[in-house]
Amino acid sequence: MGKRAGWARKRDRFALSAGAISAALLFALLVPGGPATLPAAASPAVANEMPERRPGASTGLPVPRFVSLKSGRANVRRGPGTDFPIDWVYRKNGVPLEIIAESHNWRRIRDHEGDGGWIWHTMLAGERTAIIDGVSRDEPVPLRSTPSVEAPATAYAEPGLVASVTTCKAGWCRLDTKGYQGWVAQKKLWGIYPGEEFE
């Protein structure tokens, strides 16, 4: 009982901190003074290759695949049904999640910390988002004006930022959040598979 409650509290803290992170601007224009220092979410290493994918049992869409949280409040259950207990609650929309299984109208998801559970399908959206990842907690990531390391930085993103992803190609992804746009190397994002391309 105590262990389970502690785990649920941990997940609740993550949900709240994710909301605080994405609610803040977390960007600083490339001008004297530099980016603000804000907290970052811990996350595991990004995979080095595209995973093997298969059609989902319920939708026929590729599994695994990335989606985003559509609802501002979503229960994560221990199994695919309302009879299963709620282990934690997400409290911020837009967070990227990976669908790793389907069961009728339920989706088994995994987050950027590697934890998982089951969510009702209408709580998820096809809009792609990503978390700035794969860098040290203290190292802001430049958003480039074009997909090149030689391109000037138009802004900086703090690790842990949740941003919309509009395009990915040739190892770069274009991010859009709070009126800022720019290109970030794909390897520095969680929510995009290595080598994945889309527009």
- Pairing assessment for the beta strands 96-103 and 65-69 based on DSSP bridges: antiparallel
**What residues does each domain of the chain span?**
2-25+47-128
What does the pLDDT average to over 180-186?
95
Cα 116 from Cα 89, distance rounded (Å): 12
Mean pLDDT (whole number) for 3-16: 42
Cα distance between residue 99 and residue 28, in whole Å: 32
What pLDDT does 79 receive? 97
pLDDT at residue 27, rounded to an integer: 37
Taking CA atoms, 76 is separated from 38, 45, 101, 199, in Å, by 27, 23, 14, 30
Distance, in Å, from the CA atom of 3 to the CA atom of 158, rounded to the nearest integer, reads: 32
pLDDT of residue 19: 38
Q: What is the pLDDT of residue 177?
A: 84
Any residues with CB less than 8 A from the CB of 42 and at least 6 apart, and which?
Answer: 113
Task: Look at domain 2-25+47-128 and name its CATH class.
Answer: mainly beta
Asked if residue 5 has pLDDT above 60, the reply is no
Measured at the CA of 174, the angle between CA 49 and CA 177, to 5 degrees, comes to 120
Q: How far apart, in whole angstroms, are the C-alpha atoms of residue 190 and residue 188?
A: 7
Which one is predicted more confidently, 73 or 71? 73
197/199 Cα distance (integer angstroms)? 7
Predicted confidence at residue 134, as pLDDT, reads 67
Residue 141 · residue 159 · CB < 8 Å: yes
| 115 has pLDDT over 60 | yes
3 state SS of 106 = strand
Q: CA–CA distance from 184 to each of 81, 146, 162, 167, 171 (Å)?
A: 38, 9, 13, 11, 9
Residue 142 main-chain phi, psi, to 5 deg:
-75, 140
pLDDT band at 138 (very low <50, low <70, confident <90, very high): confident
For the stretch 34-56, pLDDT in tens is: 333 222 333 333 456 788 999 99
Residue that wins the pLDDT comparison between 18 and 127: 127
pLDDT tens digits, one per residue of 22-34: 333 333 333 233 3
Rounded CA gap, 165 and 186, in Å? 11
Q: Can you give the pTM of this predicted structure?
A: 0.76
